[in-house]
Amino acid sequence: MTGNELRKKYIDFFVSRNHKEISGQSLIPENDPTVLFTTAGMHPLVPYLQGQPHPAGMRLTDYQKCIRTGDIEAVGDPSHLTFFEMLGNWSLGDYFKEEALSMSWEFLTSEKYLGLDKERLSVTVFNGDDEVPRDDDAANIWRSLGVPEDRIYFLPREDNWWGPAGKTGPCGPDSEMFYDTGKESCGDDCKPGCHCGKYFEIWNDVFMQYNKTEDGQYIKLDAPCVDTGMGIERTVTMLQGKNSVYQTELFQPIIAKIEELTGKTYGENEEEDISIRIISDHCKSATMIIGDPRGAKPSNLGQGYILRRLIRRAVRHGRKLGITENFLGQVSQVAIDMYKDVYPELLEKSDMILSELELEEKQFSTTLKKGEHEFEKILPNLLKNPKKEIPGRLAFKLYDTFGFPLELTEELAGEHGMTVDRPGFDSAFEKHQEASKKGADKIFKGGLADHSVMTTRYHTVTHMLHEALKRVLGDHVEQKGSNITEERLRFDFAHPEKMTNEELKQVEDIVNAEIAKHHPVIMKTMTVEEAKAQGARALFSSKYGEQVKVYFIGDYSVEVCGGPHIENTSELGTFVIQKEQSSSRGVRRIKAILK
């Protein structure tokens, strides 16, 4: 079964079970300061899982583009990816465990769908602890579906519990389904969740049945929800009996292009295979990020920084394979051709994707020259060292500050009869990774969709800022991202040049004049086509006939949005622009506050 076939079968199955297919959202979350990218299928749906009504109803299904960046340095092995797709279905206070698990079992085992051998499927459920009881309900449902006792595993919180996203909010036990790959067991303790590869996790059903309070209590929700997820890449790999996602049609055309460019053959040399996998994944991810409706461009901040890291790591591995010319555009074109029917925005933005990749490749060549120059500057002092060794922290500085690859530092060192302190470099790198992961964890745990009074005000005034920018600068202005905290808003938008003081004053004055009119903020639910007819601003990638929320700020602004809003602009106070600066090529950034 191919990825396209799996995607279609999944959506068709849940639509036939009265779920509405909704559009997957942008890779770059709207007005969510907690994460740089959409990390899971449930991420855009958090407000609805927390109780907001969804315009499409209580049963939903979709496929979602995702980026996870916590393990960028691990990409290169046979399994890690930065870009992947998640299939999902949700119950927003409608059905619960029995229907969710029954549908999961039917999709996995029915010959009409995946047709997996029931005898090779095992399940896990939450074992309970001092705070929450064991999930006997889920276990009993599995028994009723025919899963024998010896293939139902009770596991602790770290294995079978989700949430809350922040310190408080919806959370609950989950139940995971595993397929026995047929590999040898690693020992008596081998069970689903073991990392030896015998058991393959194929699906996860999360039951949000509790609300965790500030004082740590778990209160049962009146309308519990179900959130499920299945990764396309991982599942296709298993269904095709492959050892790695890179052996499937989701990567083979890209790898064939890299083989053509390098003269290498995938599968003959493990070190070269690592480089081929890194180029394949990173180039696909970069294509998706640049080509997204809210696409980012390479920069030193936020999404643009991650994008730059992906591109430069791919270029470095291209050099390792002997490529000296710009090549990412050719690899990216293959990815565009592979996904253009599923994500039409890639075709629409193909010129921009290819030009941005070429620009970044050229710029990185300049960066490498700077790194070589820096190395030459410090070389005389290094040669005085009787140890003839470049300290690890210095090699890491060249890597971190100048983007200079360690292998190039080792190459240059070798030309002068020197070595590099690898353990010292690894130590400095680990410290950097720990700091980065702590920062990422802090961002992720900051509270997805954790909307306070102030963040709700800032969210609303962001719409007003967007409208004012269009009126002052022109219709080319398009939101490219935003970040909202309790203290301020940050808004990125497409515009080719620095705004003048007069333009900034005009924008500020327009927003404050409209705030002073005490506009009511009204939400209406309508189809995408109706929203367009009303002149609503949005990045319309929604499916035909799909229901969306449209917010009207008096007669001033009309915008499609899923976030929280105030009821009247009189609640906003005075809008003050504090700073306007470049965010990345062709994108400007405004920081503003409400007084």
Whole-angstrom Cα distance, residue 414 to residue 466?
Answer: 55
What's the pLDDT band for 337 if we cut at 50, 70, 90?
A: very high
pLDDT for 572 beyond 90: yes
In terms of Cα–Cα distance, which of 387, 164, 405, 363 is closest to 278?
405
pLDDT at 376: 87
- The secondary structure of 263-274 as a DSSP string is ---TTS-HHHHH
Whole-angstrom Cα distance, residue 200 to residue 365?
Answer: 42
Whole-angstrom Cα distance, residue 1 to residue 343?
Answer: 20
Is 561 annotated in some ligand binding site? yes
In terms of Cα–Cα distance, which of 525, 509, 460, 452 is closest to 486?
452
The listed range with the strongest mean pLDDT (254-258, 296-300, 580-584) is 254-258
pLDDT at 411: 74
pLDDT for 445 beyond 90: no
Of all residues in the chain, the percent with pLDDT exceeding 70 is 95
Whole-angstrom Cα distance, residue 559 to residue 494?
Answer: 17
pTM for the whole structure: 0.82
Query: Regarding beta strands 199-212 and 169-180, do their DSSP bridges make them parallel or antiparallel, or are they unpaired?
Result: antiparallel
The total of other beta-carbon atoms located within 10 Å of residue 104's CB is: 22
Q: What is the chain's alpha carbon radius of gyration, rounded to the nearest angstrom?
A: 26
What's the pLDDT band for 446 if we cut at 50, 70, 90?
A: very low
What's the pLDDT band for 387 if we cut at 50, 70, 90?
A: confident
Whole-angstrom Cα distance, residue 473 to residue 494?
Answer: 10
Paired tokens of 438: 């702590």
CB–CB of 20/60 below 8 Å?
A: yes
pLDDT at 440: 46
pLDDT at 12: 97
What's the pLDDT band for 32 if we cut at 50, 70, 90?
A: low
User: Span 376-398, mean pLDDT?
Assistant: 88
pLDDT at 187: 86
> What confidence tens digit (pLDDT) does each residue in 45-95 have?
888 888 889 999 999 999 999 999 887 888 998 889 999 999 999 999 999
Decide which of 537 and 58 is more confident: 58
What's the pLDDT band for 438 if we cut at 50, 70, 90?
A: low
- The secondary structure of 426-481 as a DSSP string is HHHHHHHHHHHHHHHHHHHTT-TT---HHHHHHHHHHHHHHHHHHHHH-TT--EEE
What's the pLDDT band for 443 if we cut at 50, 70, 90?
A: very low
pLDDT at 415: 79
Query: Regarding beta strands 557-560 and 547-553, do their DSSP bridges make them parallel or antiparallel, or are they unpaired?
Result: antiparallel
Looking from the CA of 443 toward its CB, the CA atoms found within 13 Å total 18
Is 43 annotated in some ligand binding site? no
pLDDT at 529: 87
> What confidence tens digit (pLDDT) does each residue in 185-213 have?
888 889 998 888 889 899 999 999 999 99
Paired tokens of 389: 């060794």
pLDDT for 576 beyond 90: yes
Whole-angstrom Cα distance, residue 207 to residue 152?
Answer: 17
Is 459 annotated in some ligand binding site? yes
pLDDT at 84: 96
What's the pLDDT band for 540 if we cut at 50, 70, 90?
A: low
Q: What are phi and psi of 201, to 5 degrees?
A: -75, 120
For the ranges 143-157, 338-352, 539-553, the lowest mean pLDDT is seen at 539-553
pLDDT at 253: 98
pLDDT for 340 beyond 70: yes
> What confidence tens digit (pLDDT) does each residue in 457-494 have?
999 999 999 999 999 999 999 888 788 888 999 999 99
Is 129 buried (19+), middle (13-18) or exposed (0-12) by CB count in 10 A?
A: exposed
Can you tell me whether residue 574 is helix, strand or coil?
coil
> What confidence tens digit (pLDDT) does each residue in 472-481 have?
999 999 888 7
Decide which of 507 and 71 is more confident: 507
End-to-end distance of the chain based on CA atoms, in angstroms?
57
Of all residues in the chain, the percent with pLDDT exceeding 90 is 65
User: Span 374-401, mean pLDDT?
Assistant: 87
pLDDT for 182 beyond 90: no
pLDDT at 541: 62
pLDDT for 229 beyond 80: yes
In terms of Cα–Cα distance, which of 163, 253, 259, 276 is closest to 210?
163
| Residue 331 per-residue DSSP state | H
pLDDT for 407 beyond 80: no
Domains annotated for the chain, with CATH where assigned, are 3-243 (3.30.930.10), 251-371 (no CATH), 385-448 (no CATH), 453-594 (3.30.980.10)
> What confidence tens digit (pLDDT) does each residue in 263-286 have?
999 999 999 999 999 999 999 999
Paired tokens of 341: 């029917």
Tell whether omega for the bond before 170 is within 30 degrees of 0, i.e. cis: no
Whole-angstrom Cα distance, residue 493 to residue 569?
Answer: 23
pLDDT at 444: 39
Paired tokens of 276: 């081929």
Paired tokens of 452: 């306070």
pLDDT at 580: 96
74-83 burial, b at 16+ Cβ within 10 Å, e below that, comes to ebbeeebbbb
- Tokens 């009770």 found at: 154
Is 463 annotated in some ligand binding site? yes
CA dihedral over 118, 119, 123, 127, signed as positive or negative: positive
- Tokens 């690693």 found at: 186
In terms of Cα–Cα distance, which of 178, 16, 19 is closest to 95?
19
pLDDT at 539: 67
Paired tokens of 511: 């927003």
pLDDT for 233 beyond 50: yes
What's the pLDDT band for 372 if we cut at 50, 70, 90?
A: confident
pLDDT for 173 beyond 60: yes
pLDDT at 450: 55
Mean pLDDT of the chain: 90
CA distances from 421 to 32, 260, 381, 406, 531 (A): 41, 36, 16, 11, 61
